[in-house]
């Protein structure tokens, strides 16, 4: 099967300026997604979807394929990631290249590595899956969470059955944003991928930081610096 990695790297981040190319531990953030994709050996093409010539040149330097830029329409705040993915697929078709599966790798998950990509792809193949999405265990059980009324009363805040020791509570998981593997035919049938035929790939919480702001960035940088010691 032919697989394409798509790394979305729109310019103009509002939460953290130029987040996708911000240097972290000696490299631009986007480099980690490109390098892990290359090292995984899973892809025939590794594409960076960006609206910026500067970002495109950085992506090419680290080994990505950027034969075209993302359109203005797909670069707006209202465009979804899957719409941008479909644009990439259609543009490659125009170039005579077609793929069976796409793997969306957010550059904001720099602690995800090639082993994670290979592990998720193994789950995809083993289950003949339509989609595989990475998750990690939540830090705190949602059974211990609730909304509060205006007077901050704790009456009914948690169910009496949820007051068991933490070790005895059910495990809950969250999407961590690191890896999305989707069969292209399935994607065109239904962009809501959380259905029968879709499976989870469980990642370590320590590799599941999704950089949205400066706190996330500094946390990822700290973990990287310790890992490389």
The tens digit of pLDDT for each residue in 69-91 reads: 999 888 877 778 898 999 999 99
How does 168-181 read in b/e, with b if 16+ C-beta sit within 10 Å? Answer: ebeeeeeebbbbbb
**Whole-number Cα distances in Å, 225 to 4, 38, 62, 111, 166:** 30, 22, 21, 11, 31
pTM of the model: 0.91
The tens digit of pLDDT for each residue in 139-178 reads: 888 888 899 999 999 998 987 766 666 667 788 999 999 9
- Under the banding of pLDDT at 50, 70 and 90, the label for residue 64 is very high
pLDDT at 17: 83
Phi, psi of 130, deg, nearest 5: -85, -30
CA dihedral angle for residue 225, residue 40, residue 92, residue 109, rounded to 10 degrees: -30
Give me 216's structure tokens.
């996330």
Give me 125's structure tokens.
């193949």
The tens digit of pLDDT for each residue in 97-121 reads: 999 999 999 999 999 999 999 999 9
């Amino acid at each position: 099967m032919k697989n394409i990695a798509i790394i979305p790297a729109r310019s103009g981040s509002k939460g953290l300026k130029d987040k996708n190319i911000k240097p972290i531990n000696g490299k631009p953030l986007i480099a980690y997604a490109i390098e892990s994709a290359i090292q995984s050996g899973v892809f025939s093409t590794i594409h960076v979807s960006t609206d910026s010539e500067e970002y495109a040149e950085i992506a090419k330097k680290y080994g990505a394929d950027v034969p075209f830029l993302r359109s203005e329409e797909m670069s707006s705040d209202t465009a979804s990631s899957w719409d941008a993915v479909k644009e990439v697929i259609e543009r490659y078709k125009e170039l005579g290249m077609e793929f069976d599966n796409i793997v969306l790798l957010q550059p904001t998950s720099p602690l995800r590595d090639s082993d994670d990509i290979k592990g998720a792809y193994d789950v995809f193949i083993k289950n003949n899956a339509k989609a595989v999405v990475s998750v990690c265990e939540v830090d705190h059980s949602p059974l211990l969470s609730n909304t509060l009324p205006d007077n901050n009363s704790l009456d009914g805040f948690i169910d009496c059955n949820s007051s068991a020791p933490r070790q005895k509570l059910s495990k809950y998981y969250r999407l961590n944003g690191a890896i999305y593997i989707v069969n292209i035919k399935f994607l065109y049938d239904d962009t809501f991928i959380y259905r029968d035929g879709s499976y989870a790939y469980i990642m370590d919480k320590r590799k599941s930081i999704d950089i949205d702001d400066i706190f996330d960035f500094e946390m990822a940088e700290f973990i990287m610096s310790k890992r490389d010691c």
